[in-house]
A = this chain, B = another copy of it.
Amino acid sequence: MIELSKAEFDVLDALWINYPATASQIIERLSDDKQWHEKTIKTLLGRLVKKGALSFEKEGRQYIYMPCIERADYTLKESQNFIERFFSGRIAPLVSGFAKSEQLSQQDINELKKVIDDWEKNQN
């Protein structure tokens, strides 16, 4: 699996918003949330390319970037990894931890019920 650092993920996340995109577009998108220097983001783009998370095509003097991996795939793998490390691979204890510390809202509960419902419908 491709391993990304936090900062690298944030850059990729800005690309996932909408792609393909140029470096300047990505820099623009990130400027709201992060105080990163343009050079920093370019470094991170380079590292992402090197890791195989991004590809690009030349367009004049610029590069047009594209993700090589999908967000859902990446986050699923990270989630599995996380749950394995901290909860021996079982998901309920994570949710239970949230419940115990009052971190669950009624909306969360409704959404979870829906996930369960959908799952059950799929198990005919």
Contact = CB atoms under 8 A, between A and B. Distances in A.
Interface of A: 6, 9, 72, 75-76, 78-80, 82, 85-87, 90-92, 94-101, 103-104, 106, 108-109, 111-116, 118-120, 123
A103 B80 contact: yes
Contacts of A9: 85
14 contacts: A75-B97, A76-B98, A76-B101, A79-B98, A82-B82, A91-B95, A92-B111, A92-B115, A95-B95, A95-B112, A95-B115, A96-B115, A109-B116, A116-B116
Q: Is the interface of A mostly helix, strand, loop or mixed?
A: helix
Contact of A112 (B6, B76, B82, B112): B112
Nearest to A111: B92
A61 B78 CA distance: 42
A32 to B, nearest CB: 15
Contact of A78 (B76, B86, B119): B86
